[in-house]
A and B are shown apart, each in its own frame.
Chain A
Amino acid sequence: MIRAVIVMNDQGKPRLVKFYEHQPVEKQQEIIRSIYGVLCSRAENVSNFVQADSGFGPDTRLVYKTFATLYFIVIFDDSENELAILDLMQVFVETLDKCFSNVCELDIVFNFNKVHTILDEIILGGQVIEMSSSEVVKAVDGISWLEKNPNSILRVPKSLSGWQGR
């Protein structure tokens, strides 16, 4: 399963932290620091895998990918495929791009809640539940609509009822 998803910038500041197992917050901060230490020591244009045994136990791995000023990091165990996780990160970034149209670091900084919403539509409980970014965008749009219309919790707009009824 996927153990954690982290987004941090090239200064080591975390922008999104999601652990799928219980980790005390101090441990989380420690893990983020140590990951940053490893990542910033790695040259550009090298492979994207790092062993993550120290924080997460044996057979756990870390895949990272840099987009502009951000590191996207996924930590997972041996029931995932490394290359498939790289694809998954691509899906995540594509979705962010669609939701924020040309995503940049600031979007992620100021949309803490929405980024979590997007991530939750892709991964739940460490399991990948959706690999299609258009499906995710649909769901996120639905949620945003609900957020903006607090009093109509049971009413569903016509435009969205089509896919909800599936």
Chain B
Amino acid sequence: MSGGGGGPSLMDSLFQRTLDDLIKGIRIHTPGAAQSSFISKSLDEIRREIKSTDLQTKSTALQKLTYLHSLHGIDMSWAAFHAVELTSSPSFIHKKTAYLAASLSFRPQTDVLLLLTNQLRKDLSSANQHEVSLALECLSVICTPHFARDLTPDIFTLLASTKNFIRKKSIACLLMVFTQYPDAVRVCFKRLVENLEASTETLAATVGVFCELACKEPRSYLPLAPEFYRILVDSRNNWVLIKVLKIFAKLAKLEPRLAKKVVEPICDHMKRSEAKSLVFECVRTIVSSFYEYEFAVKLAVAKIREFLLDTDLNLKYLGLQGLLLVAPNHSWAVLENKEVVIKSLSDVDRNIKLEALRLVMSMVSDDNVVEICRVLIGYSLKSDPEFCNEILMSMLSTCSRNVYEIIVDFDWYVSLLGEMARIPHCQNGEEIEYQLIDIGMRVKDVRPELVRVGRDLLIDPALLGNPFIHRILSAAAWVSGEYVRFSRNPFEIMEALLQPRTNLLPPSIRAVYIHSAYKVLSFCLHSFLLPNRTANFLSEFVDMEPDFTYSESERELPETSGLSETNADNAKNSSSSLKKDTFTRESVVNVLTLILTSLSPLAGSHDVELQERVRNLLGLAQLAQQEISYHDDHKEKMVDRDDLKTSIIIRLINDALSEDFGPVSLSAQERVPVPDGLVLEENLSKLDIICADVQLPISKSFSLVVRPSFLQTDGDSVSSRQNEEESETSAAESTSLLSEHRKRHGLFYLPSDNNQNTSTGFPPANDPNKKDNDVEDLVKLTEESLALKRKSNLARPRPVVVKLDEGERHPITVKKTQSNDDLISGAVRDVLLGNEASSQSNQSSGRRRGKTLSKVDQGSESKDNMENFEIGNSSKRRSKHRIHGKDKKHPSPGNNVEGRDENGEINKKKSGSRHGRHKARQRADGGINVVVQKPVIPDFLL
């Protein structure tokens, strides 16, 4: 080799490091600074060497750079031109180095990519098969629409190569070409199909390509079913059979008659084959696509069982996966293997444990949820932290599916949530927090139990040390404050909320604690100062929502050591009368002292939210303490508690706090009739754009708002609503999420209304009759849920779970099929079925092809044609003959067309490729009017 230009270049050539030297150098230097400085030094050398005119020097430099790029992540985009340059070297090893560099580093964006086109074409038609294979390998990785379009004729030629070596590679490469340039299908598809018939070594590559194509859009390949069937029966190559099975798994879903035909041979393979891979593929095909065939499924399940009992963990894992596929249609299969599945939960292999967990979850129903959860909790205690949380998460998500569909006994579920919180590794605080609050709002009957669970969590000082469950504690604090009226001992909760270890909590959660303490205090003061009003209020509450409160008070009766049972009024008052006894003057004074002593230091907290809350609470406590101790001195005046300043304030606060949160339908706002004279569209049309990002966060389909106030009796709607909103705002800040949402939307929400579908039936926003509507709604809700209930023999009926009319989850919009896939399959149909039409449409204008070929036209046209056109019996073979015939007929007019075309370079190509290219053009043009018909499966198969 002659070393061309100047001194440094000659030196570089003589003393150039080889790739081996580079690798040794890297290995000598310790990883870190020394190594990276060595690499950057070598890079400097490479930059110099690669510019050398000596091809050997250049090639070695490129080789080193490729190595650094591939294994050390060094950028080599700057060297792209050198790689292109080297591909044209006459030396095979240089060419190989250059192609390797290209296929490892080129991207569709690489700017010199187009320069490679000619060299690729040259090498694709080389007489040396290894050069051809280098070009094919490179093309299969870096293929762009441009390459695919320009090189389709060359690939077409290679598809008929006499050398298997070339043919299999060009077939494999074809997949990429089709994906990049769907029109290539019109040229090459026929030869691809021919390779399917020739039972040679290229078959593996061919079925591989068909498998990929059929995965994207199976329908177009139905006409080829006889070919695939023949392979399924005849072939003894496991690799080929696996791919064919995968194709049939797709096709059988479209054509039931096909399923009937192929299920037998598949079972034969399953029985006969020694290869586990093939057996598993048979099993998978049967259970996912042929699950109606009982005998086949039985056989498959037997095979699955063999896998499950195998000592090879890979087989066991796949067995579990197979079982998971069977589960939706044949739950007996899972039950049969129950022991193996449960035992696998404590397997050493994480994969197996996860699959087993999924299987267990697939077995859950409302009958066995309690039992299964008990088993799972046991396993979660024994498992490593990671898997423990997997178990908890899947329990939480399964139980909460479809608004707690499978939960009948909510008391049990709430205590299960409490139990989960105490599992040492539990890291699902956020989900448990969400569910505790969610259930609190949706299921009224469960609130007393919820408060009990919350209390148990709050009074345990040990839990405060675990940061993972702070979120759960936050929920516990919130329910304890919000539903304090169900608490047996509010003072205990107050102590828990103010215990010294709460300083371990982050400020945001501590703020929830303080606010809950505020609610508890106002409840205590209210019960103490205004016992009668409390009773009144409670009875009012009962009137308002008879269903829920009635059952609540019923349940509390035994607890209150039996006051009167029969009288409804007494029942209503029972809880308050209980509390009246506990709210002694002394206990209230103690609470006030506790608050003042423990919170005073916090009044100067740097966290704004916390400071604000503490000051609110301290203010209330100080006021109450002053007045109560004042009356302590003047006992005679104590009688008239109602007139105290505190009482007045407490009354106001309590009115605000005692309103209930409830879920609200997202569509609630739509139900508000537009008042006359208000033109929404005109003024607010731009609001959509502004609100777009605001509305995104509402992933759940409800938000939290106060139900319309039933305390509101006067007609002064506007001002009272505003007051209401203010008080609501303060009440709702218990969690930041709630408040944030509420501030934005609180004003706009109305209660959900299931049964008023007619547009005229919408109640006005401030209808005085709304109270009645509300009651009616709840009654209807109750009735609905009763009607839906599946089991009547339950000890206790399932409590009402408030749901909203809309589906809780938004339907997932089906992703549009990739247009490229459409184009490919469209082209495939044309090739297989639409020959007559395409010859008719040859006259259609010589439209510029390529990307401009409108897919819209093609798509819509072919749909129309699909309906209009029907060829009775188009067997595949017959169509193929037509293709042959057409090939012979058309070359000469094609030459004319091409001669006129501006892409004159094609004329330099040898006739074979020009022929192919011409055909591509014709088909592409024809494609606009090409007739697509329903694939008809030839009768001899069926």
Contact = CB atoms under 8 A, between A and B. Distances in A.
Interface of A: 1, 13-15, 17-18, 20, 22, 24-26, 28-29, 42-43, 45-50, 78-79, 81-84, 86-87, 109-110, 112-113, 116-117, 120, 124-131, 139, 142-143, 146-147, 150-151, 153-154, 164-166
Interface residues of B, number: 72
B204 A124 contact: no
Interface in B285-322: 313-314, 316-318
B697 interface: no
A146 B92 contact: yes
A92 to B, nearest CB: 14
B105 to A, nearest CB: 8
A125 B20 contact: no
B405 to A, nearest CB: 26
B578 interface: no
12 contacts: A1-B175, A25-B73, A112-B67, A113-B63, A116-B100, A125-B141, A125-B175, A129-B205, A139-B165, A142-B130, A147-B93, A147-B96
B204 A153 contact: no
B327 to A, nearest CB: 18
A82 to B, nearest CB: 6
Contacts of B127: 154
Given A24-B107, A79-B212, A79-B246, A129 B314 contact: no
B136 A47 contact: no
Given A15-B71, A47-B352, A146 B209 contact: no
B146 interface: no
A153 B108 contact: no
A48 to B, nearest CB: 6
Nearest to A83: B277
B626 interface: no
B70 A150 contact: no
Contact of B314 (A14, A28, A48, A154): A48
Contact of B313 (A1, A46, A78, A166): A46
A18 B70 CA distance: 8
Interface in B57-116: 63, 66-67, 69-71, 73-75, 90-93, 96-97, 100, 104-105, 107-108
B97 A47 contact: no
B318 A22 contact: no
A153 B128 contact: yes
A63 to B, nearest CB: 9
Contacts of A128: 204-205, 208, 239
A127 B73 contact: no
B691 interface: no
Q: Which of A124, A128, A130 has the most CB of B within 10 A?
A: A124
A160 to B, nearest CB: 11
Given A26-B73, A124-B136, A127-B172, 20 more contacts: A25-B75, A42-B350, A43-B348, A43-B349, A79-B215, A79-B243, A83-B276, A83-B318, A87-B277, A112-B71, A116-B100, A120-B137, A125-B173, A125-B175, A129-B168, A142-B130, A146-B130, A153-B90, A165-B163, A166-B163
Interface of B: 19-20, 23, 27, 63, 66-67, 69-71, 73-75, 90-93, 96-97, 100, 104-105, 107-108, 127-131, 133, 136-137, 140-141, 163-165, 168-169, 171-173, 175-176, 201, 204-205, 208-209, 211-212, 215, 238-239, 242-243, 246, 275-277, 280-281, 313-314, 316-318, 348-352
B140 A147 contact: no
Nearest to B279: A83
A14 to B, nearest CB: 5
Given A79-B246, A112-B67, A153 B172 contact: no
Contacts of B238: 84
B107 A47 contact: no
A154 B128 contact: yes
A49 B317 contact: yes
Nearest to A28: B73
B205 A127 contact: yes
A59 to B, nearest CB: 10
For the complex of A and B, the 9 pairs showing the least CB-CB separation, nearest first, are A125-B140, A83-B277, A127-B172, A46-B349, A47-B313, A84-B277, A150-B91, A47-B317, A29-B73
Contacts of A164: 129, 163, 165
B277 A22 contact: no
A34 to B, nearest CB: 14
A143 B71 contact: no
Nearest to A138: B165
A153 B349 CA distance: 53
A110 B173 contact: no
Contacts of A125: 137, 140-141, 172-173, 175-176
A165 B75 CA distance: 41
Contacts of B175: 1, 125-127
A81 B75 contact: no
B92 A45 contact: no
Nearest to B131: A153
A48 B281 CA distance: 17
A28 B107 CA distance: 13
B119 to A, nearest CB: 15
A26 B105 CA distance: 12
A151 B90 CA distance: 8
B97 A113 contact: yes
A130 B201 CA distance: 8
Given A84-B238, A113-B97, A166-B163, A46 B23 contact: no
